[in-house]
Chains A and B, each alone.
Chain A
Amino acid sequence: MSSKEIAYQKIYEENYPKVMRLCMGYTAGNESLAKDLVQETFIKIWQNLDSFRNESGIGTWIYRICVNTCLAEIRRERKKERELQIDSLQVSDSNDNPAEKEDMLVQLYKCINKLSSTNKAIILLELEGLPQLEISEIIGIKHEAVRTRIHRIKQQLTKCVNNE
């Protein structure tokens, strides 16, 4: 393998889980659509790897490509494919009842899917535990605005998941 390919494999292995979760969030848990988007994201990463200048950190750069790929491509999905495909949803934490957790994840996907594209991106990045400053750099809005918006979306999402 060339040095570019070796670097690319490292990027792929380190970032695949977060890219996959983000795409799953965008596609309401549709694994097949999410995998297409993940593939599309990593193809763009390869195509742009030579122009990466490390100005924003590789993580931020990858998240930007992933969010934009989802924003650009998500509209391909057909209506029938929008139905939640929940068979593959699994949680690895064994402390609580797995069935209960699975239900909650399904509900979480449903609630995320009710949000607008931008709010979806913001909350998915927040769920990943990204600092709000980084989220504002990825989305392209001011830090203060992101903070306010996250607070609002968190409340909406928690209420929705708890069926309030």
Chain B
Amino acid sequence: MNNFEDLQKKWQNQSGVSATEDGFQSLLKSVKSIEQKQRTGNVVLTLTIIILVSFLIYVSGYKSATFMLGIGLMIGSLVFRIAIELFSLKRLRSINFSKDANTFTEDLTTYYSLRKYTHYIITPLALVFYTVGFIILLPLFKASLSNGFYIYIICSAVVFLTVFSVFIYRQATKELTKLKQLEMQEGV
């Protein structure tokens, strides 16, 4: 027969839970690596924006309204979706982990609730606009490209959209499950 004090004593006497120098060095390495990745991520993002803006400036020389509409829809929907994702990431990172568990759970639930709008409204709309933009461009591709390259563009677009959709679907399912679990969790 064990009372709670016995359990407490045994709990605190567990061994194999002490810090090691190697463990700390490995942690410090991870911390530095995360900071480095964040810096690299910022550089990649800046370069992507520069390339997209340069491309838009380049194609703005074309007088074809159809081309501009198609390319505008494709790039616009992509940029908009990326911007939403970056905004969400910033919001997630701003959730304060040093608040009490009750407030933290509320903040996390609010975050995932807002993500529902991204998954149910913004993402499908972005996919539709992207596809419409691509379809608008198809006659222009057909007229100006060789048959082989035209087929390649269609196939690669289908593959890209399928892979992208599966990725988004899996991410959405994961986040919505998390929200459900947070909502099911009893009120603190």
Contact = CB atoms under 8 A, between A and B. Distances in A.
A117 B13 CA distance: 24
A46 B98 CA distance: 12
B72 to A, nearest CB: 39
Contacts of A90: 14-16
Contacts of A139: 100-102, 188
B10 A105 contact: yes
A43 B30 contact: yes
Contact of B14 (A92, A140, A157): A92
B15 A140 contact: no
Given A16-B19, A72-B108, A108-B7, A121 B12 contact: no
B97 A127 contact: no
B54 interface: no
Query: Is chain A's interface secondary structure helix, strand, loop, or mixed overall?
Result: helix
Task: Indicate the member of B12, B98, B103, B181 with the most A CB atoms within 10 Å.
Answer: B98
Interface stretch (B21-29, B138-146, B157-165): B21-29
Report, as a range, how many residues of chain A touch the other chain.
35 or more
B27 A42 contact: yes
B2 A162 contact: yes
Contact of B17 (A21, A51, A93): A21
Interface string B1-43: 1111001111111111111000110011011001000000000
Contact of B2 (A46, A121, A161): A161
Contacts of B181: 75
Interface in A103-158: 104-105, 108, 116-118, 121, 126-129, 137-141, 154, 157-158
Nearest to B23: A16
Interface of B: 1-4, 7-19, 23-24, 27-28, 30-31, 34, 96-105, 108, 177-178, 181, 185-186, 188
